[in-house]
Amino acid sequence: MRADREGPGRLRADKAYHSTERLTWLRNRGIVPRIARPGVESSERLGRHRWKIERSISWLFGYRRLTVRYERKGTHFLAFLGLAAALTCYKKLAKLTT
């Protein structure tokens, strides 16, 4: 990592990521972790917000051809992924103009 680049200040995660090694690793790097503890806290409070990347991936994989990868070549899969991204953007922009 470059010296002039800043990393994230905080991290939110669910119970699956709670371990002392991960917490130590994050704190050594100056990142404040907010990870639900198993058996103590509910992870629902952390999941109130749908993260932008999760939402975008769910939009893209809403297309049946991308859900199960039928193509043998990765270039074909990337082409369909690009088409799905273009269609998703078009639908969102069309919704804004109506």
Report mean pLDDT in 10-residue bins for the chain, 98 residues: 65 80 90 79 57 75 70 80 88 83
Residue 2: the pLDDT is: 45
Please state the three-class secondary structure of 51-72 as a single string.
CHHHHHHHHHCCCHHHHCCCCC
For 84, half-sphere exposure in the C-beta direction (CA atoms, 13 angstrom radius) is: 18
**Which residues, other chains included, contact 35 with Cβ-Cβ below 8 Å and sequence gap of 6+?**
11, 12, 13, 14, 15, 17, 18, 22, 23
Residue 49: the pLDDT is: 56
**Which residues, other chains included, contact 56 with Cβ-Cβ below 8 Å and sequence gap of 6+?**
88
pTM of the predicted model as reported, rounded to 2 decimal places: 0.45
Residue 46: the pLDDT is: 55
36: which DSSP letter?
Answer: P
